[in-house]
Structure 1
Protein backbone atom coordinates (compact mmCIF):
# COMPACT_ATOMS: atom_id res chain seq x y z
CA UNK A 1 0.00 0.00 0.00
CA UNK A 2 1.37 3.37 -0.94
CA UNK A 3 1.06 6.45 -3.08
CA UNK A 4 2.20 4.50 -6.15
CA UNK A 5 -1.18 2.75 -6.17
CA UNK A 6 -3.02 5.98 -6.94
CA UNK A 7 -3.87 6.96 -10.50
CA UNK A 8 -2.01 10.26 -10.52
CA UNK A 9 -2.13 12.78 -13.39
CA UNK A 10 1.02 12.91 -15.52
CA UNK A 11 1.81 16.37 -14.09
CA UNK A 12 2.12 14.92 -10.59
CA UNK A 13 5.32 13.33 -9.29
CA UNK A 14 5.11 11.05 -6.25
CA UNK A 15 7.86 10.61 -3.66
CA UNK A 16 7.20 7.70 -1.30
CA UNK A 17 9.38 7.81 1.82
CA UNK A 18 9.80 5.17 4.50
CA UNK A 19 8.84 7.31 7.48
CA UNK A 20 8.25 10.84 8.72
CA UNK A 21 11.93 11.42 9.39
CA UNK A 22 12.89 10.49 5.83
CA UNK A 23 10.08 12.64 4.46
CA UNK A 24 11.24 15.67 6.45
CA UNK A 25 14.86 15.24 5.37
CA UNK A 26 14.04 14.65 1.69
CA UNK A 27 11.60 17.54 1.45
CA UNK A 28 13.99 19.90 3.25
CA UNK A 29 16.85 18.95 0.91
CA UNK A 30 14.69 19.39 -2.21
CA UNK A 31 13.30 22.75 -1.03
CA UNK A 32 16.80 24.00 -0.16
CA UNK A 33 18.13 22.92 -3.57
CA UNK A 34 15.43 24.94 -5.31
CA UNK A 35 16.03 27.98 -3.12
CA UNK A 36 19.77 27.82 -3.85
CA UNK A 37 19.03 27.58 -7.58
CA UNK A 38 16.74 30.61 -7.40
CA UNK A 39 19.35 32.62 -5.52
CA UNK A 40 21.98 31.64 -8.09
CA UNK A 41 19.70 32.62 -10.97
CA UNK A 42 18.24 35.90 -9.71
CA UNK A 43 19.90 36.80 -6.42
CA UNK A 44 16.91 36.01 -4.22
CA UNK A 45 14.35 33.31 -3.45
CA UNK A 46 10.82 33.19 -2.08
CA UNK A 47 9.39 30.35 -0.01
CA UNK A 48 5.77 29.96 1.13
CA UNK A 49 5.10 27.44 3.89
CA UNK A 50 2.13 25.83 5.60
CA UNK A 51 1.59 25.62 9.34
CA UNK A 52 0.15 23.01 11.65
CA UNK A 53 1.85 20.34 13.73
CA UNK A 54 3.15 17.91 11.11
CA UNK A 55 5.61 20.34 9.41
CA UNK A 56 7.69 20.85 12.59
CA UNK A 57 10.41 18.21 11.83
CA UNK A 58 10.61 19.48 8.23
CA UNK A 59 11.00 23.09 9.40
CA UNK A 60 13.74 22.16 11.85
CA UNK A 61 15.58 20.20 9.16
CA UNK A 62 15.21 23.06 6.66
CA UNK A 63 16.70 25.49 9.21
CA UNK A 64 19.95 23.50 9.14
CA UNK A 65 20.32 23.64 5.34
CA UNK A 66 23.30 25.61 4.10
CA UNK A 67 22.02 28.47 2.00
CA UNK A 68 22.14 32.26 2.07
CA UNK A 69 19.04 32.86 4.16
CA UNK A 70 19.55 36.63 3.99
CA UNK A 71 18.41 36.37 0.35
CA UNK A 72 15.27 34.34 1.15
CA UNK A 73 11.80 35.79 1.72
CA UNK A 74 9.44 33.52 3.62
CA UNK A 75 5.68 33.78 3.91
CA UNK A 76 2.74 31.57 4.85
CA UNK A 77 0.03 29.88 2.79
CA UNK A 78 -2.42 30.67 5.59
CA UNK A 79 -2.65 31.96 9.11
CA UNK A 80 -5.04 31.86 12.04
CA UNK A 81 -6.20 35.35 13.01
CA UNK A 82 -4.38 35.28 16.33
CA UNK A 83 -1.34 37.24 17.59
CA UNK A 84 2.11 35.77 16.98
CA UNK A 85 2.40 34.94 20.70
CA UNK A 86 -0.66 32.66 20.51
CA UNK A 87 0.04 28.92 20.59
CA UNK A 88 -1.89 28.45 17.32
CA UNK A 89 -0.04 31.14 15.34
CA UNK A 90 1.73 29.84 12.23
CA UNK A 91 4.10 32.82 12.38
CA UNK A 92 4.98 31.76 15.92
CA UNK A 93 5.53 28.21 14.68
CA UNK A 94 8.09 29.46 12.12
CA UNK A 95 9.78 31.63 14.75
CA UNK A 96 10.24 28.61 17.02
CA UNK A 97 11.17 25.96 14.47
CA UNK A 98 12.59 27.62 11.33
CA UNK A 99 14.00 31.07 12.08
CA UNK A 100 16.90 29.79 14.16
CA UNK A 101 20.65 30.04 13.49
CA UNK A 102 21.40 31.12 9.94
CA UNK A 103 17.74 30.88 8.96
CA UNK A 104 16.98 33.77 11.33
CA UNK A 105 18.37 36.06 8.60
CA UNK A 106 15.42 35.33 6.30
CA UNK A 107 12.92 38.09 5.62
CA UNK A 108 9.42 37.22 6.82
CA UNK A 109 6.18 38.55 5.36
CA UNK A 110 3.45 37.64 7.83
CA UNK A 111 -0.31 37.57 7.29
CA UNK A 112 -1.60 38.44 10.76
CA UNK A 113 -2.76 42.02 11.14
CA UNK A 114 -4.19 43.55 14.31
CA UNK A 115 -7.38 45.16 13.04
CA UNK A 116 -10.99 45.54 14.11
CA UNK A 117 -12.23 42.55 12.13
CA UNK A 118 -11.15 39.69 9.87
CA UNK A 119 -12.09 41.43 6.61
CA UNK A 120 -9.88 44.39 7.47
CA UNK A 121 -7.04 42.05 8.46
CA UNK A 122 -7.28 40.24 5.13
CA UNK A 123 -7.24 43.55 3.24
CA UNK A 124 -4.08 44.65 5.09
CA UNK A 125 -2.44 41.26 4.50
CA UNK A 126 -3.35 41.55 0.82
CA UNK A 127 -1.48 44.86 0.67
CA UNK A 128 1.54 43.44 2.51
CA UNK A 129 1.71 40.57 0.00
CA UNK A 130 2.05 43.04 -2.87
CA UNK A 131 5.75 43.14 -1.94
CA UNK A 132 6.14 39.36 -2.02
CA UNK A 133 8.59 38.29 -4.75
CA UNK A 134 7.57 35.62 -7.26
CA UNK A 135 7.14 32.39 -5.29
CA UNK A 136 9.89 29.87 -6.03
CA UNK A 137 8.74 27.12 -3.66
CA UNK A 138 5.35 26.46 -2.08
CA UNK A 139 4.85 23.69 0.48
CA UNK A 140 1.22 22.73 1.03
CA UNK A 141 -0.44 20.40 3.49
CA UNK A 142 -3.88 18.80 3.29
CA UNK A 143 -6.61 18.13 5.84
CA UNK A 144 -8.73 15.02 6.04
CA UNK A 145 -11.60 17.08 4.61
CA UNK A 146 -9.57 17.96 1.51
CA UNK A 147 -8.74 21.53 2.50
CA UNK A 148 -5.37 23.07 1.75
CA UNK A 149 -3.99 26.39 3.04
CA UNK A 150 -7.20 27.67 4.68
CA UNK A 151 -9.31 26.96 1.63
CA UNK A 152 -11.95 24.96 3.50
CA UNK A 153 -14.94 23.20 1.92
CA UNK A 154 -18.06 25.40 1.98
CA UNK A 155 -16.29 28.42 3.49
CA UNK A 156 -18.19 31.62 2.53
CA UNK A 157 -15.35 33.09 0.43
CA UNK A 158 -14.21 29.80 -1.08
CA UNK A 159 -15.38 30.52 -4.63
CA UNK A 160 -13.25 33.67 -4.80
CA UNK A 161 -10.42 31.89 -3.02
CA UNK A 162 -10.37 29.22 -5.73
CA UNK A 163 -10.80 31.63 -8.68
CA UNK A 164 -7.60 31.54 -10.73
CA UNK A 165 -8.43 35.01 -12.09
CA UNK A 166 -8.99 36.62 -8.69
CA UNK A 167 -6.99 39.79 -8.09
CA UNK A 168 -6.95 39.13 -4.34
CA UNK A 169 -3.80 37.69 -2.79
CA UNK A 170 -5.35 37.02 0.63
CA UNK A 171 -8.91 36.42 1.77
CA UNK A 172 -10.75 35.93 5.07
CA UNK A 173 -11.77 32.29 5.38
CA UNK A 174 -13.63 30.29 8.00
CA UNK A 175 -12.84 26.76 9.09
CA UNK A 176 -16.22 25.07 9.73
CA UNK A 177 -15.03 22.82 12.54
CA UNK A 178 -12.10 24.83 13.92
CA UNK A 179 -12.55 27.81 16.24
CA UNK A 180 -10.18 30.36 14.74
CA UNK A 181 -10.95 32.64 11.84
CA UNK A 182 -8.39 32.30 9.07
CA UNK A 183 -6.42 34.30 6.55
CA UNK A 184 -5.51 32.40 3.41
CA UNK A 185 -3.55 33.04 0.27
CA UNK A 186 -5.76 32.62 -2.76
CA UNK A 187 -5.37 29.91 -5.36
CA UNK A 188 -4.37 32.56 -7.92
CA UNK A 189 -1.30 33.45 -5.83
CA UNK A 190 -0.53 29.92 -4.60
CA UNK A 191 -0.70 28.43 -8.09
CA UNK A 192 1.85 30.97 -9.36
CA UNK A 193 4.64 29.15 -7.48
CA UNK A 194 7.40 27.72 -9.66
CA UNK A 195 7.52 24.51 -7.59
CA UNK A 196 4.67 23.16 -5.47
CA UNK A 197 5.11 20.35 -2.95
CA UNK A 198 2.31 18.62 -1.07
CA UNK A 199 3.45 16.93 2.13
CA UNK A 200 1.14 14.23 3.55
CA UNK A 201 1.56 11.35 5.96
CA UNK A 202 -0.35 8.19 6.81
CA UNK A 203 -3.07 6.00 5.30
CA UNK A 204 -5.79 8.53 6.16
CA UNK A 205 -4.25 11.18 3.92
CA UNK A 206 -3.76 8.58 1.19
CA UNK A 207 -7.50 7.86 1.36
CA UNK A 208 -8.24 11.59 1.17
CA UNK A 209 -6.04 11.90 -1.92
CA UNK A 210 -7.81 8.93 -3.51
CA UNK A 211 -11.18 10.60 -2.91
CA UNK A 212 -9.92 13.93 -4.23
CA UNK A 213 -8.64 12.31 -7.43
CA UNK A 214 -12.01 10.57 -7.95
CA UNK A 215 -14.02 13.80 -8.32
CA UNK A 216 -14.00 17.29 -9.81
CA UNK A 217 -15.96 19.47 -7.35
CA UNK A 218 -13.43 21.99 -6.00
CA UNK A 219 -15.90 23.30 -3.41
CA UNK A 220 -16.22 19.81 -1.94
CA UNK A 221 -12.45 19.21 -1.75
CA UNK A 222 -10.38 22.34 -2.49
CA UNK A 223 -7.13 20.34 -2.79
CA UNK A 224 -8.48 19.25 -6.19
CA UNK A 225 -7.55 22.70 -7.50
CA UNK A 226 -3.87 21.71 -7.28
CA UNK A 227 -3.92 18.03 -8.26
CA UNK A 228 -3.92 18.59 -12.01
CA UNK A 229 -1.15 21.20 -12.08
CA UNK A 230 2.56 20.37 -11.81
CA UNK A 231 2.87 19.04 -8.27
CA UNK A 232 5.30 16.93 -6.23
CA UNK A 233 3.62 14.83 -3.52
CA UNK A 234 5.78 13.67 -0.62
CA UNK A 235 4.12 10.83 1.32
CA UNK A 236 5.08 8.34 4.00
CA UNK A 237 3.01 5.72 5.85
Structure 2
Protein backbone atom coordinates (compact mmCIF):
# COMPACT_ATOMS: atom_id res chain seq x y z
CA UNK A 1 0.00 0.00 0.00
CA UNK A 2 1.48 3.33 -1.03
CA UNK A 3 0.57 6.95 -1.59
CA UNK A 4 0.01 6.34 -5.31
CA UNK A 5 -3.15 4.42 -4.39
CA UNK A 6 -4.79 7.45 -2.78
CA UNK A 7 -7.30 9.56 -4.69
CA UNK A 8 -5.45 12.87 -4.55
CA UNK A 9 -6.87 16.18 -5.83
CA UNK A 10 -5.30 17.48 -9.05
CA UNK A 11 -3.62 20.30 -7.14
CA UNK A 12 -1.68 17.81 -5.00
CA UNK A 13 1.65 16.30 -6.09
CA UNK A 14 2.93 13.16 -4.37
CA UNK A 15 6.53 12.03 -3.98
CA UNK A 16 6.99 8.44 -2.81
CA UNK A 17 10.45 7.78 -1.36
CA UNK A 18 11.99 4.46 -0.36
CA UNK A 19 12.86 5.40 3.21
CA UNK A 20 13.25 8.25 5.70
CA UNK A 21 16.79 9.06 4.53
CA UNK A 22 15.71 9.37 0.90
CA UNK A 23 12.77 11.55 1.98
CA UNK A 24 15.03 13.91 3.92
CA UNK A 25 17.44 14.22 0.98
CA UNK A 26 14.68 14.90 -1.57
CA UNK A 27 12.78 17.34 0.64
CA UNK A 28 15.93 19.25 1.61
CA UNK A 29 16.99 19.55 -2.04
CA UNK A 30 13.55 20.79 -3.13
CA UNK A 31 13.28 23.28 -0.27
CA UNK A 32 16.79 24.63 -0.90
CA UNK A 33 16.10 24.99 -4.62
CA UNK A 34 13.03 27.14 -3.91
CA UNK A 35 14.90 29.24 -1.35
CA UNK A 36 17.69 29.89 -3.86
CA UNK A 37 15.12 30.87 -6.49
CA UNK A 38 13.44 33.29 -4.05
CA UNK A 39 16.80 34.87 -3.16
CA UNK A 40 17.63 35.24 -6.85
CA UNK A 41 14.24 36.81 -7.59
CA UNK A 42 13.86 39.21 -4.66
CA UNK A 43 17.04 39.15 -2.59
CA UNK A 44 15.61 37.21 0.34
CA UNK A 45 13.67 34.07 1.23
CA UNK A 46 11.36 32.98 4.04
CA UNK A 47 11.03 29.42 5.33
CA UNK A 48 8.51 28.15 7.89
CA UNK A 49 9.19 24.75 9.44
CA UNK A 50 7.48 22.23 11.68
CA UNK A 51 8.95 20.57 14.77
CA UNK A 52 8.79 17.11 16.25
CA UNK A 53 11.20 14.19 16.01
CA UNK A 54 10.76 12.99 12.43
CA UNK A 55 12.07 16.22 10.78
CA UNK A 56 15.55 15.89 12.36
CA UNK A 57 17.27 14.14 9.39
CA UNK A 58 15.65 16.65 7.00
CA UNK A 59 16.81 19.62 9.09
CA UNK A 60 20.36 18.28 9.27
CA UNK A 61 20.42 17.71 5.51
CA UNK A 62 18.96 21.15 4.82
CA UNK A 63 21.72 22.73 6.93
CA UNK A 64 24.30 21.37 4.47
CA UNK A 65 22.59 22.81 1.38
CA UNK A 66 24.57 25.54 -0.35
CA UNK A 67 22.67 28.81 -0.33
CA UNK A 68 23.07 32.31 1.10
CA UNK A 69 21.62 31.65 4.54
CA UNK A 70 22.19 35.27 5.59
CA UNK A 71 19.29 36.15 3.28
CA UNK A 72 16.91 33.54 4.73
CA UNK A 73 14.35 34.21 7.46
CA UNK A 74 13.16 31.12 9.31
CA UNK A 75 10.16 30.68 11.58
CA UNK A 76 7.95 27.88 12.89
CA UNK A 77 4.45 26.69 12.03
CA UNK A 78 3.89 26.08 15.74
CA UNK A 79 5.65 26.02 19.07
CA UNK A 80 5.20 24.63 22.55
CA UNK A 81 4.94 27.41 25.11
CA UNK A 82 8.24 26.50 26.76
CA UNK A 83 11.63 28.28 26.83
CA UNK A 84 14.15 27.41 24.12
CA UNK A 85 16.22 25.44 26.66
CA UNK A 86 13.30 23.02 27.24
CA UNK A 87 13.55 19.59 25.61
CA UNK A 88 10.15 20.12 23.89
CA UNK A 89 11.05 23.48 22.32
CA UNK A 90 10.86 23.54 18.53
CA UNK A 91 13.18 26.57 18.53
CA UNK A 92 15.69 24.45 20.44
CA UNK A 93 15.26 21.69 17.86
CA UNK A 94 16.19 24.11 15.05
CA UNK A 95 19.14 25.43 17.04
CA UNK A 96 20.52 21.91 17.44
CA UNK A 97 19.80 20.49 13.99
CA UNK A 98 19.48 23.36 11.47
CA UNK A 99 21.28 26.48 12.62
CA UNK A 100 24.75 24.96 12.31
CA UNK A 101 27.64 26.00 10.05
CA UNK A 102 26.57 28.38 7.29
CA UNK A 103 22.90 27.94 8.21
CA UNK A 104 23.59 29.68 11.54
CA UNK A 105 23.53 32.96 9.56
CA UNK A 106 19.76 32.66 8.98
CA UNK A 107 17.47 35.10 10.82
CA UNK A 108 15.05 33.38 13.19
CA UNK A 109 11.63 34.75 14.15
CA UNK A 110 10.61 32.97 17.34
CA UNK A 111 7.04 32.20 18.37
CA UNK A 112 7.90 31.66 22.03
CA UNK A 113 7.35 34.78 24.13
CA UNK A 114 7.59 35.27 27.87
CA UNK A 115 4.22 36.42 29.14
CA UNK A 116 1.85 36.04 32.08
CA UNK A 117 -0.32 33.55 30.21
CA UNK A 118 -0.73 31.74 26.88
CA UNK A 119 -3.14 34.31 25.41
CA UNK A 120 -0.68 37.13 26.10
CA UNK A 121 2.19 35.08 24.65
CA UNK A 122 0.19 34.45 21.47
CA UNK A 123 -0.57 38.17 21.15
CA UNK A 124 3.16 38.94 21.46
CA UNK A 125 4.00 36.26 18.86
CA UNK A 126 1.36 37.72 16.56
CA UNK A 127 3.13 41.09 16.74
CA UNK A 128 6.56 39.51 16.17
CA UNK A 129 5.24 37.77 13.05
CA UNK A 130 4.34 41.14 11.52
CA UNK A 131 8.04 41.27 10.56
CA UNK A 132 7.90 37.92 8.77
CA UNK A 133 8.40 38.31 5.00
CA UNK A 134 6.05 36.58 2.56
CA UNK A 135 6.49 32.83 3.09
CA UNK A 136 8.28 31.15 0.18
CA UNK A 137 8.35 27.62 1.61
CA UNK A 138 6.24 25.98 4.30
CA UNK A 139 6.95 22.44 5.52
CA UNK A 140 4.09 20.87 7.42
CA UNK A 141 3.81 17.62 9.34
CA UNK A 142 0.67 15.73 10.34
CA UNK A 143 -0.36 13.90 13.51
CA UNK A 144 -2.21 10.60 13.67
CA UNK A 145 -5.30 12.59 14.70
CA UNK A 146 -5.16 14.71 11.55
CA UNK A 147 -3.73 17.86 13.16
CA UNK A 148 -1.13 20.01 11.45
CA UNK A 149 0.92 22.83 12.99
CA UNK A 150 -0.88 23.01 16.36
CA UNK A 151 -4.32 23.13 14.80
CA UNK A 152 -5.77 20.25 16.81
CA UNK A 153 -9.21 18.67 16.31
CA UNK A 154 -11.87 20.34 18.46
CA UNK A 155 -9.39 22.75 20.11
CA UNK A 156 -11.16 25.85 21.55
CA UNK A 157 -9.66 28.34 19.05
CA UNK A 158 -9.75 26.00 16.06
CA UNK A 159 -12.53 27.82 14.16
CA UNK A 160 -10.53 31.05 14.14
CA UNK A 161 -7.33 29.12 13.48
CA UNK A 162 -8.85 27.67 10.30
CA UNK A 163 -10.56 30.89 9.15
CA UNK A 164 -8.91 32.01 5.90
CA UNK A 165 -10.12 35.58 6.50
CA UNK A 166 -8.70 35.84 10.03
CA UNK A 167 -6.35 38.76 10.64
CA UNK A 168 -4.52 36.82 13.35
CA UNK A 169 -1.12 35.37 12.48
CA UNK A 170 -0.75 33.34 15.68
CA UNK A 171 -3.25 31.88 18.15
CA UNK A 172 -3.05 30.10 21.50
CA UNK A 173 -3.97 26.45 20.99
CA UNK A 174 -4.42 23.49 23.32
CA UNK A 175 -3.06 20.06 22.46
CA UNK A 176 -4.85 16.93 23.78
CA UNK A 177 -1.53 15.65 25.15
CA UNK A 178 1.29 17.09 27.26
CA UNK A 179 2.46 19.77 26.91
CA UNK A 180 -1.03 21.17 26.36
CA UNK A 181 -0.17 24.80 25.69
CA UNK A 182 0.83 25.65 22.14
CA UNK A 183 1.28 28.62 19.85
CA UNK A 184 0.22 28.05 16.25
CA UNK A 185 0.31 30.00 13.04
CA UNK A 186 -3.17 30.40 11.62
CA UNK A 187 -4.36 28.86 8.37
CA UNK A 188 -4.66 32.35 6.86
CA UNK A 189 -0.90 32.85 7.28
CA UNK A 190 0.15 29.25 6.57
CA UNK A 191 -1.90 29.05 3.37
CA UNK A 192 -0.21 32.20 2.04
CA UNK A 193 3.02 30.24 1.44
CA UNK A 194 4.14 30.07 -2.20
CA UNK A 195 5.09 26.38 -1.82
CA UNK A 196 3.65 24.00 0.78
CA UNK A 197 5.17 20.60 1.49
CA UNK A 198 3.63 17.93 3.72
CA UNK A 199 6.08 15.36 5.06
CA UNK A 200 4.58 12.07 6.28
CA UNK A 201 6.13 8.71 7.09
CA UNK A 202 4.80 5.22 7.67
CA UNK A 203 1.58 3.27 7.06
CA UNK A 204 -0.15 4.91 10.03
CA UNK A 205 0.19 8.39 8.55
CA UNK A 206 -0.89 7.03 5.17
CA UNK A 207 -4.09 5.74 6.78
CA UNK A 208 -4.65 9.14 8.41
CA UNK A 209 -4.17 10.84 5.06
CA UNK A 210 -6.66 8.46 3.44
CA UNK A 211 -9.23 9.21 6.13
CA UNK A 212 -8.66 12.94 5.72
CA UNK A 213 -9.21 12.72 1.96
CA UNK A 214 -12.47 10.84 2.45
CA UNK A 215 -14.18 13.57 4.50
CA UNK A 216 -14.58 17.33 4.60
CA UNK A 217 -15.08 18.24 8.29
CA UNK A 218 -12.12 20.52 9.05
CA UNK A 219 -12.86 20.52 12.77
CA UNK A 220 -12.53 16.73 12.85
CA UNK A 221 -9.25 16.64 10.88
CA UNK A 222 -7.68 20.09 10.39
CA UNK A 223 -5.16 18.80 7.83
CA UNK A 224 -8.12 18.75 5.41
CA UNK A 225 -7.82 22.54 5.19
CA UNK A 226 -4.61 22.10 3.19
CA UNK A 227 -5.36 19.03 1.07
CA UNK A 228 -7.11 20.89 -1.74
CA UNK A 229 -4.63 23.76 -2.03
CA UNK A 230 -1.53 23.35 -4.19
CA UNK A 231 0.43 20.91 -2.05
CA UNK A 232 3.42 18.58 -2.45
CA UNK A 233 3.31 15.47 -0.27
CA UNK A 234 6.55 13.65 0.57
CA UNK A 235 5.91 10.14 1.89
CA UNK A 236 7.95 7.05 2.71
CA UNK A 237 6.92 3.69 4.26
Specify the TM-score bucket, using the shorter chain as the normaliser: over 0.9
Q: In the alignment, which residue of structure 2 is the partner of 1:133?
A: 133
* Root-mean-square deviation (Å): 0.4
TM-fit CA distance, 1:177 = 2.4
Question: 1:128, 1:78 → 2: CA distance?
Answer: 14
TM-fit CA distance, 1:178 = 2.8
Q: In the alignment, which residue of structure 2 is the partner of 1:40?
A: 40
Question: 2:81, 2:155 → 1: CA distance?
Answer: 16
Paired residues, number = 237
2:80/2:179 contact within 8 Å kept? no
TM-fit CA distance, 1:180 = 3.1
Describe the superposition over 1:88-132 as per-residue Cα deviations: whole angstroms up to 9, x where unpaired: 000000000000000000000000001000000000000000000
2:147/2:222 contact within 8 Å kept? yes
Question: 1:153, 1:86 → 2: CA distance?
Answer: 25
State the SS of the aligned residue for 1:216.
coil
Question: 1:187, 1:55 → 2: CA distance?
Answer: 21
Describe the superposition over 1:134-191 as per-residue Cα deviations: whole angstroms up to 9, x where unpaired: 0000000000000000000010000000000000000000001233300000000000
2:171/2:186 contact within 8 Å kept? yes
State the SS of the aligned residue for 1:229.
coil
Q: TM-score normalized by structure 1?
A: 1.00
Question: 1:145, 1:124 → 2: CA distance?
Answer: 28
Question: 1:54, 1:122 → 2: CA distance?
Answer: 26
Question: 2:94, 2:164 → 1: CA distance?
Answer: 28
Q: State which drifts further: 170-179 or 82-91.
A: 170-179
Question: 2:179, 2:69 → 1: CA distance?
Answer: 34
Q: In the alignment, which residue of structure 2 is the partner of 1:70?
A: 70
Q: In the alignment, which residue of structure 2 is the partner of 1:107?
A: 107
